[in-house]
Structure 1
C-alpha cells in the first residue's frame, strides 16, 4: 500500500513509458490538462499522435498556456487542439462542458478524467457538496456518464472493432479505508458531506472510495456490447502542485516525503496513458505500477457489495437531474 518501503521502491521503479501505444488519428480528452499530471499526460498523447487533443481546463488563458507547453514539449502541430472550459466544482459547468464537447468534437476515442484537489478545511461548493467530494468524485462521475454515449458511438464506428477508453485518475488511497471507517448510521456520501466529522486526510481516502464506486458503476453500464473500456488508474505519489492549498507547516512537513518518495509528473503520467491502452481485462479494475494491485480488507468484506450498490445508487440519484433522459 502506502508504507514507506513500498513508496521508496515505487519512486525508484517508475512504470514503463508506454511509447509503443499509438493514438494517431484518435480524439483524446484530458481534463485538468493545464498543469501537473494532466499536462504531462496531454504531452504524451500529443507526442503519440492524438488528434484532436481536447484540453479540459478552468479558463481559456490556462488552456492557451497548456497548448503552448504541449507544442514546445512534443513538437505536435498547433492545429490539433480543442480547448474547452470546465469547473469540476459546478455540475452546471460539467454539463455545459459535455454539451460543448458533443457539439465540437465529432468522435471521442479516449477520455482521461483527472484534475483533483486536497482541501485542508471543510468547504461547500455552490451545489452544496463538500468540495473534494464533488471535485474528485461526483463531477468526474457526471462527466463520465455524459461522455459515455459519445465514446460508445465512436467505438461502434471503428472499422477494426477497436473499443473506446474511459479512465478515471484515482488513488491507491481508496484501498486504505478500513471497515471501521464506515459508519452504520450514515451512507458513505453522507459521511463525506458531514462537516462534524471532518478530517482532511481521512476525507481524501473516503472520497477516493466514492470515486472508485462511481467508476465501477459506469463500468457496469458499459458492457462489451457498449464497447467502452472503463477503468481507474493511480499515477502514484508525484511531485505536483496538489498540496498548494495545505497550510505552510503541512506543506513543509510533506515536502521532504515528496522529495524523497515522489515521482515526476512525467513518470506518473505513464500510468494514465497506459491505462487507456489496456484491453478488456482492465474493465472495472484499478491500474497502478503496471499491475492490478490486490483489493483491500473493506472491499473484500461481507458488506462490500451492499456498500457499493448503496453508494452507486446514491451517486446516480444526485446526478440524475443533470443527465439527459437518454442517459438515465
Structure 2
C-alpha cells in the first residue's frame, strides 16, 4: 500500500485563492465528503489547462478535527496562539478548513474555488477569502523579493514533512496563514536605504545585507531561527500579494508550511515580542497582522479515505530527476 502526498511543494504560482471556512454544526458529513472528492475536482478543472499547474492544498483546524474524524488528532495540532508584544500584536482568528488554490492563471483557481463552494453551499461560513497574485519579479507590494530563503530539493521536503516524531501522520505537514495589511504611504516615505535596513536586504539586487549592516530588528534577522547546535530551521513560504487600489487596501498573505508549527511560532515570537523583548521586527511598523490561523495538512490518501487508522510511513525522498515530486511522490509502508 502507498501514501499519496498533497501537492505542498510546487513551482512558484502566479495566482492563488485562499479560503478559510467554518463548518456549520451538523454539516460535518458534507464537509468530509467534499474533502474526499477535492483531488478529483482539482483534476477535472486542471485538465482543461494542464500546463498551468492547478493544485489545491487542504488544511484542517484544531477545532474541526474531532468533528470530522475519529482518528486521534495530530500531535502538534492546536489553535493558533495569539501574540502581544510591547507595540504589535498577532491576533488568532478561527478557521476549520483552509483551501489553498494555486495555478499560473487566476481563472483556474477561481473555478476550482467556485466548485468547492457550490458543494459546501449552506454548510460553511466564509471567514476569509483572498485572491492573490505574483507582483512583478516575485516581489511583495513593499517592493522586495519575497521567499528568497525558501529551501529547495530534499531540504524543502524535510522542512515541511512530518516524520517519525508523529509516525501515524508521517508525510503530512502544518501550515500557518496570516493576512498583513501595509501602510504603503508611510513605507514609501522611507528612503530606499532605510527600507533596506528594515528588511535586511538590498532592494534591487535582493542580496542580504552584511552582518555589520543588518540591524538586529530587521525582518531577515527576526525571522532567522537557529537551534542551540547551530542548525538553521526553515519553512516554505508561498506568500502572495493582494489588494484593492480603490479601497486603498494593500497587503501580503503569509502562508508558511513546516514539519512542525514550533518553527513558525518561534519566528512569530521573535517578530512580535522580540528577543530580547521589545526588539520587534521593524516591518511590523508598516505591516499589520489582521488574521492568524494554524492548520494540519494531512496526506491526500487520508483525505480520500480517512476510515483506516493512520499507520507509519517512511521518510520522503527525492525523485530520480532531482525534482521534488510532491503530489506524485509515493511512500512505501514500513
TM-score between the two structures when normalised by the length of structure 2: 0.25
Q: Determine which structure has the larger strand proportion and give its number.
A: 2
RCO (CA 8 Å, sep 6+): is it higher in 1 or 2? 2
Q: Which protein shows a greater Rg?
A: 2
Q: Determine which structure has the larger helix proportion and give its number.
A: 1
TM-score between the two structures when normalised by the length of structure 1: 0.26
